[in-house]
Amino acid sequence: MKLATKLLIAIFLSTVFVIIIMNLSFYHISKSYYKHQLQEGVENRLEAHAKVLAVHSDVTTLDHVMIMEAGQEENSFVIFDQSLEVIQSSRPLSNEEITTYQDWIILHADQSKRTEFVETMEEHIPHAWSFRSFSSDEGVSGYLFLDQDTGSFEATRNNLLLLTFLIGFFTVCLAVMFSIYLSKRLSAPVKKAQLLTRKIALGDFEVDMPPSTSKDEVSELLTDISLMAKNLKEYRDERQRLFTNISHDLRTPLTYIKGYSALLKDQSLEPTVVQEQSNVIYQEASRMEHLVNDLFQLMKYEEEEYQLEEERTNMYDFFAQLQAKIQLDLNSKQLYFHVHADTVDINVPIDQMQFERAIMNVLSNSIRHTDPGGQIDVILSKEEKICIIQIRDNGSGIPEKDLQRIWERFYRVDASRSTKLGGSGLGLAITKEIIHLHKGEISVSSKIGEGTTFLIKIPAE
């Protein structure tokens, strides 16, 4: 069964249930009201007659009261004396009727007045029976009895029942139309979500969702589906770029290895040539190994599987040791390297091996892209419990359009130059993940021809 049908049935049944309850309540309340009005009317008439007879109980007054009641439809009005003998009645009565009235009054003789609805015969509308005792100053006393047929009440009740049925019928019709409209209104976005998810399942991530002004859960679901499709598309595109880059970066060293291996295999070469070609093969194999290791390590960082082995480290001493490790590279390009610190007492809990790898990636980029005679400065400072590291060079700089993309895997500002200089395109992506593992953040600013500055902030003691 479709969702729209389920919604339609649920809304229809709940609406019908509410309508039935409301109509039954309306009918019951209205019926009780009319019944009360009828009872009150009968009692008020007897009360009025009793007050008149209490003052004047002569024959003229009795006749006047009888004439008033004789004008009423569907009733029997009887005046009994104290011994329940009939004094006057509004219509001829049979002995059986008189006896029935007398027995009912005797049954309730301990009361001065009483009204109740009595079933006078089976499958017939009930009658309202009411009596009221009276006594006059002239010594006359007895009972006023009224047998009021409730035909008018029954007619009103039937009309009320018909009205209730008609109201219920039209309300149900409106409920059906409203249920159909509402079910379509609610199921339409769900169908749309179904179509979108089906497209996504088939690999089509080009989901175009127009902006919605609604803020309900279904609209939020559609927005989330659209966002999911966008993320999946980005993931697919990134994966394709990754495979393309890996294929490209592996194909180049494999070409070298294959070519030089063929030369070594098919030709008799001088020992010096063999050594040179073997060296090329070794370097390209090492390059492949380095690329695969970087990829594996980056995947571990991104999945947050790597557990840091942090230890308290003095940052000034840390960079002094790094300088010693890169001094040969600095000397080969005649670069100047300086470490500046507001204070040498800056201690940070870091995984020294991984943090060194992150910083070395940044320094390697600075060394590669700074011309001979250039300068690289490391500036250390501390603000509250944050260690601030600035690595600044006066190299070639990074174009503004590339600044936000340098953290992407395999992204190179100058692909040909980076490959020539030995860059894998993974270094800064690895650096960013390592800094994030240390609960820090890294940013970059640069100007073409003026240099680049990397800013790192990590928690300090």
pLDDT digits (tens, 9 = 90+) for 185-202: 777 777 777 787 888 787
Does 142 share its domain with 251? Answer: no
Residue 418 banded pLDDT, cuts 50, 70, 90? very low
Residue 267: inside a domain: yes
Distance in angstroms (rounded) separating the CA atoms of residues 349 and 440: 12
Residue 167: inside a domain: no
Number of folded domains in the chain?
A: 3
pTM, two decimal places: 0.49
- How many CB atoms are located within 10 Å of the residue 122 CB? 5
Does 290 share its domain with 416? Answer: no
CATH code (residue 124) = 3.30.450.20
Distance in angstroms (rounded) separating the CA atoms of residues 397 and 419: 17
Does 292 share its domain with 319? Answer: no
Residue 206: inside a domain: no
Please give the average per-residue pLDDT across 318-324, as a whole number: 93
pLDDT of residue 417: 45
Q: What percent of the chain has pLDDT over 90?
A: 26
pLDDT of residue 446: 93
pLDDT digits (tens, 9 = 90+) for 393-416: 999 999 988 888 888 877 766 644
pLDDT of residue 125: 67
Does residue 413 contact residue 427 with C-beta atoms inside 8 Å?
Answer: no
Residue 188: inside a domain: no
CATH code (residue 250) = 1.10.287.130
Range of the domain at 245: 217-302
Inform me whether the pLDDT recorded for 50 exceeds 70.
yes
Does 139 share its domain with 239? Answer: no
Does 264 share its domain with 341? Answer: no
Does 13 share its domain with 139? Answer: yes
pLDDT digits (tens, 9 = 90+) for 104-139: 999 998 888 999 888 765 545 678 899 998 887 766
124 vs 309, residue with greater confidence: 309
pLDDT digits (tens, 9 = 90+) for 13-35: 877 787 778 777 877 787 788 78
Residues 431-434: contacts with CB within 8 Å, 24+ apart? 431/357, 431/358, 431/359, 431/361, 431/362, 432/407, 433/298, 433/301, 433/302, 434/301, 434/354, 434/355, 434/357, 434/358
